[in-house]
Amino acid sequence: MPGSGVLVNVLGIVFGGLLGMAAGRLISERFQKTLMMACALAVLFLGLGGSLAQMLKASPDGTMTFVGSYMMVGSLIIGALLGEAIDIEDRMVTFGEWLKKRAGGESDSRFVDAFVTASLTVCIGAMAVIGPINDRLLGDPMVLYIKTVLDFVIVLLMTATLGRGCIFSALSVGIFEGAIFLCAGLLEPVMSAAAQSNLSYVGNILIFCVGVNLLWKTGIRVANLLPALVIAIAWAWI
């Protein structure tokens, strides 16, 4: 059924979050901190591994070469300027505050941070773009099914340590992937092999930044770097 991949992804995040809430109540604060570090490291290396896979290519002589540096730098800089102009981060925080009130979570000081962090983690990346396109045009939800397993584990761990705000990242995924699903016919011609590679390259760098924020609380405004994904796709056609 077309759209089943998006639906399963949303439900997987909700289910993972609910299990994470149950687990969080049973785990002491000391264990929660350790789990948070483990989750941060997992996100960090998921992003690092994905970006390095696109960044380093083997030459005919067997040596590794660094590719796509101009695209990466250009996408991140232009994307950052656009993101700051739109101020995506603050808009996500405002939406998180609205959700917090509607969910009765006024006493949860970590709700908004949990929502924004989890939303960025599960929405950034090539799978969140390619998956809905395949689901709509090819009737193949397999990419989203695989993503669901990854998101389930990540959101479970995040919810156990950051709180129930992570569960509402299911809304972000539903809106993001649902919009791509509906616009798949327009996006398919744009998503060439080069565009997909660029998207994976820059997307995984942003995932790495989310891991850095989780581990070191550096405050990188990752949401304001999201336009870099659009620039990376456009770069393939320049």
- Contact of 231 with 74, CB cutoff 8 Å: yes
pLDDT of residue 28: 75
Distance CA(165)–CA(74), nearest Å, equals 33
Domain residue extents for the chain: 4-235
Give the model's pLDDT for residue 74.
95
Distance CA 209, CA 226 (A): 12
List, as own/partner pairs, every contact residues 219-223 make where C-beta atoms lie below 8 angstroms and the sequence separation is at least 24, other chains included: 221/83, 221/84, 221/89, 222/89, 222/120, 222/124, 223/83, 223/88, 223/89, 223/92, 223/116, 223/120
pLDDT (0 to 100) of residue 3: 75
Sign of CA dihedral 53, 56, 58, 63: negative
pTM of model > 0.85: no
Instruction: For Cα atoms 109, 112, 115, give the angle at the middle one, nearest 5 degrees.
Output: 130
Two tokens, residue 78: 């232009």
Q: Which residues of the chain have pLDDT under 50?
A: none
Give per-residue burial for 42-78: e unless 16+ CB within 10 Å, then b.
Answer: bbbebbbebbeebbeeeeeeeeeeeebeebbebbbeb
* Residue recorded with tokens 């990854």: 150
Rounded to whole angstroms, the Cα distance separating 187 from 210 reads 26
Q: Token pair for residue 108?
A: 């949860």
Report the distance separating Cα 178 and Cα 164, nearest Å.
Answer: 23
Identify whether the C-beta of residue 51 lies closer than 8 Å to the C-beta of residue 201.
yes
- The two structure tokens encoding residue 155: 């959101």
